[in-house]
Each structure stands twice: as C-alpha cells, then as structure tokens.
Homo-oligomer: A and B are copies of this chain.
C-alpha cells in the first residue's frame, strides 16, 4: 500500500534503530546530521524516499531539545522528499509528564509535542507506554502505543515472586500497578503522599497496605533522577520491607541517577532499552537490567506496513 519500508534513525539512540533493522532484515537508511557553528542543524536524507513507507526512530533522550528539533526537521525533510507515509517511532515520548494543566498558565506540553509532530508532517506515531493513556488522544493522527508490561512481567516471573508486593510510590501514579499486580498475581501497597501547599514537594505520609517482611517491587513508568524511587525504597524499608526491587518501562537515569541507585539498598532495577543506558552519566549500571523491546517494535513496524493488528503483538 505504501511502498517499501525504509527505516531511518535520529541521533538519539542509533543502537536501538540498528537492532530493529536487524530484526526486520533491512539496512538502516542513510541520512546525515550536520551541526553548524551557530548550532543550527541540517538533516540530509541521503537516499531516495519517494513513495516509500518511512519509519523514523527517535526516543526523547539528552540533549532533549536538540533531539526534538532533529525529529521535526527530519520529518519535514521526508515529507518534502515525497515519502508516501512517515511514521514517527518515539519509544520514549518527550514531555509526557507535562500532560495536564495542574497549575495556572502552564503549557500541556505533551499536547504541544503532538501538535508539532503533526505540523512537521508525520502521518502516524508508534510509541511505548505513554505516561498517561489519554496522551494518545492528543493526536489527530493514528497512534500505536505498545505496552512493555507483558515483557517486563515475563522477565520478573523468571524468579520466584512469592514474597513480593507491588508498590506504587504515589497514589497519583497508582493506576499502572494493577497491570503488573494482576499479571503477577501479587498484592499491592501504595505510598500516600500529600502536598500541603501549592506545588510544594509531596511528602510521604502513610504506606497504605503492608510490606512487612516482604520484598517491595516498586513500579513506575519511568525513572529519571531516581529521587522518587529512592525515597519510596527508604519508606518501604522503614515500614518493614526486607528488600526492595524496582521496575520501570523507561530508564531515563538522568544526572546522578545511576550512582545513587548503585549506592542505594535497591537490589535491582528492570527497564526496557527504550533509551540508551548512557555510560556518560557515570556510575555503575550493574544493578540495571534491560529487557529489549526492539523485536516488539520490529514486529509493530511490520504490522503497520502490512496492515495486520498491532494490538495482538503485546497481548
């Protein structure tokens, strides 16, 4: 329907793109990013893409603003180069936590991102675990959202989990843990945090549920600086948990996150490879394990191209 598949990679996570291409048995498309002295970028697509079914892969990874603009510029270049269809493959969606107007006069920036991507010329989006499922509604173009929970649970279930309790570090983020607790058939506990003044930092007040003598398995959709995770871990241990593990779809690990996790009592952290595990961020990554979602993305790209169901891939 849409010509041949062509896969191009932005500069955010080329290893991820290469693995997808291996799964697809396709070469990665040739393109070039030039950065001028004045920091303007030039994206040069170096092969013909007319009437091709193009997938451009770019998770939101530091430098974040450069990555977003590189994506928009590339999509614009592909559109005017007459690609038949452009799917923006964004494993980790930028600004997905800016998804609501929780104080006056702020931008719902995840929505702005959707608008910018549509304006640049994307025809579809393929992504993984948006911070809130409503973000899919920010787009007027079709969005396929893959879900990592089956893969993560499959990996978690390879070791005995009988003493585990699934823990959410905030009531506001608790909605996701049912997905894990149901699959693993585990009880849940939730840290009840309160914000006592507007926009003040929330303070853990109570652990709703029981972790005494249990292994707390803290679940979140992403781990950024690790601050929330480490506080939750300490809170659980103080409430009697005998161990703490963590799982999250997106391992951002910004700033000193890896160092802090290495030095913490957390035993292990499971994530996907939606983001590069940057050695540059320093710290040891020994406790971090990544489950690859590249095969899942490759199958989704094939399904989008062939017109078969994407939903069935992650059920």
Chain A contacts to B: CB under 8 angstroms = 1-3, 36-46, 48-52, 62-66, 68-69, 72-74, 76-82, 84, 94-95, 97-112, 115-116, 119-120, 124, 132-138, 140, 142-143, 145, 168, 171-175, 177-178, 181-182, 187-190, 192-196, 198, 206, 208-209, 224-225, 252, 254-255, 257, 303-304, 306-311, 315
Contacts and interface: CB of A to CB of B under 8 A. Distances in A.
Nearest to A185: B194
A178 to B, nearest CB: 5
Contact of A82 (B42, B106, B142, B178): B142
A97 B40 CA distance: 9
Nearest to A104: B311
A76 B178 contact: no
A112 B187 contact: no
A79 B139 CA distance: 12
B111 A137 contact: yes
Contacts of A189: 208
B192 A40 contact: no
Given A307-B50, A311-B104, A37 B225 contact: yes
